[in-house]
Amino acid sequence: MNTRNTISAGCLALSMLTATAAETTFKVTKHYLNIPVSHKCERVRFNVEIPGESPMPLDIRLASDHPDYWVFADLSAYKGKKIKVSYPDNLKGIDKIYQADTIRGGADFYKEKNRPQFHFTTRNGWINDPNGLIWNDGEYHLFYQHNPYERDWGNMHWGHAVSLDLVHWKELPVALRPDTIGTMFSGSAVIDYENTSGFGKSGTSPMVVAYTADGDKGQRQCIAYSLDNGRSFKKYDGNPVIDSGKKWNTRDTRDPKMFRYDDHWVMVLNERDGHSIYTSNNLKDWTYSSHVTGFWECPELFELPVDGNPDNTMWVMYGASGTYMLGDFDGYTFTPCSGKHVFTAGTGYAAQTFNNIPASDGRRIQIGWSRIGHPGMNFNGMMLMPVELKLQTTKEGPRLVSNPVSEIEALCESKGKWSGLTQQEAEDILRGFSGFEDGLRVKVTFALSHATDASLSLADQRLVDYDMNGTRLNGYFYSPQDPTSMELTTDIWIDRTSAEVFVDGGVFSYSMPRDLPANPVPFSIRGNNLKIKELEIYTIPSIW
């Protein structure tokens, strides 16, 4: 094995180190490994061995000639260590992989044409579900399902970004990498203040994450801990901590969401046809307690006051689609007391809420994955805006409402407020903003005069499409709280590739991909003798 590590030109191709075919050992001397990717090439299995860590299988579309884009591995934590990589014999393109102190193409990150301007996206690669959402020591942590090596799903890692204000995010090196148990599927994070796990050292409360390892032996639940506020994790030697596939006769056992309830830990886990509750005293040993059928993937369970009254609370349980049940929870069993309800629709999926928000804040803050593609970009997928969830009494009983967190509202710059406009007047005002640069927020209250429809479009795309006759809003059944109302209020947030719409104070919301015309396009408002009761316009500066 060749371990030569002299670097003269600031970068070093891997093949220069190759002594035996299809196996390379190299010493980490720089921050990054830059890797060319081409979607014309098949995925190739690399096995990566880093001293002190479990071997890591990675599938990479290594470009044999012209790359579509470059991806990188951050090796800064391994400087001076020797990494062994094996790959198929005669692999073309291997000589193009090189170490450097800069990310190839990194200077262009966040400047790309289709880069969302006020939604979180990763620098490059793929993202899906938010994971391990937690506030700790002044920082909001957003971990997420991530393929750092391609713009499509695969090689699931936990990516990691932090924010001080839920608006501006700083992406950190990946938190969890695939290992011999499996790839890193979704999960959650808690702070173990009482060091029940024993992972803490000298007064440091560990951040403990639970995740699903998706591997040859099925989907099994594992834990890892961090003593440096999520900057590095150590996986527990006793993993997996739950292996329940055989019991449920399925592969589908995944996405642990943990939280503290009185004197014990609770984990909600999706198993086959619904959400199970497990409990633990130390985050390592888990006992099965109960199961509620009717949910798929990415469980959530949390308590909320109804209309802000702390003496009147209910528990909310939902799965990846976000449709939820309300009920009671005694620390071991969730007992639904209502049918399923919907408060949001569209591109959102697998939303999670933050753990450990300080009591002085007390909000239930949620981030969802927005299933929006970014054609031609080296990144793919995005997060929805963080929203605050509340339970509000409605005519049908208590229901979830959601609205963007106040921090993101504070980003908006008001461009004007008008009332009592005709359809034409409102359209003329809006058209003045058609060439908006970063983001645009349009709050509009429509006053209908006929029981037909009302719409607001950008180019030919209907951001609001209210069909009063069919009681439908953009295809979803929607009836205002007052079913006789002739008004509809929409709060529309438009980013480069998406739009999110909050209706009538957040009782319903939906999100959609935006059509991406090459040139600025005009807004239009249509309806039968429609009036615009209120119009407010804000620009939203880029968060990057």
Q: Give me the residues that bind ligand FRU (CB under 6 A), please.
A: 128-129, 145, 156, 185-186, 212, 254-255, 297-298, 320, 349-350
Residue 88 to residue 107: CA distance in whole angstroms: 32
* Full strand arrangement of the beta sheet holding 344-346: 344-346, 508-513, 498-503, 487-494, 439-447, 531-540, 413-422
Q: Are 158 and 172 in contact (CB under 8 A)?
A: no
Q: Which is nearer to ligand FRU, 212 or 497 (CB)?
A: 212
> To the nearest whole angstrom, how small is the minimum distance from the Cβ of residue 144 to ligand FRU?
10
Residue 252 to residue 236: CA distance in whole angstroms: 22
> To the nearest whole angstrom, how small is the minimum distance from the Cβ of residue 91 to ligand FRU?
27
Residue whose pair of structure tokens reads 């069909």 in the numeric block: 467
Q: Work out the burial of residue 222: count CB atoms within 10 Å of its CB; fewer than 13 is exposed, 13-18 middle, 19 or more buried.
A: buried
Greatest extent of the chain over all pairs of C-alpha atoms, in Å: 80
> To the nearest whole angstrom, how small is the minimum distance from the Cβ of residue 164 to ligand FRU?
27
Q: Which is nearer to ligand FRU, 18 or 183 (CB)?
A: 183
> To the nearest whole angstrom, how small is the minimum distance from the Cβ of residue 397 to ligand FRU?
29
User: Catalytic: which of 59, 68, 129, 361?
Assistant: 129
How is residue 491 written in tokens? 């709060």
Q: Are 314 and 325 in contact (CB under 8 A)?
A: no
> To the nearest whole angstrom, how small is the minimum distance from the Cβ of residue 132 to ligand FRU?
12
Residue 286 to residue 10: CA distance in whole angstroms: 50
With the C-alpha atoms ordered 68, 73, 79, 80, is the resulting torsion angle positive or negative?
negative
| Residue 454, helix vs strand vs coil | strand
How is residue 445 written in tokens? 């209250």
Strand partners, 169: 163
- N-terminal to C-terminal alpha carbon distance within the chain: 44
Q: Work out the burial of residue 296: count CB atoms within 10 Å of its CB; fewer than 13 is exposed, 13-18 middle, 19 or more buried.
A: middle
Q: Are 26 and 6 in contact (CB under 8 A)?
A: no
| Residue 28, helix vs strand vs coil | coil
Residue whose pair of structure tokens reads 């030919």 in the numeric block: 460
> Is 129 in the active site?
yes
> To the nearest whole angstrom, how small is the minimum distance from the Cβ of residue 48 to ligand FRU?
20
> To the nearest whole angstrom, how small is the minimum distance from the Cβ of residue 517 to ligand FRU?
30
Residue 489 to residue 251: CA distance in whole angstroms: 44
- Catalytically annotated residues: 129
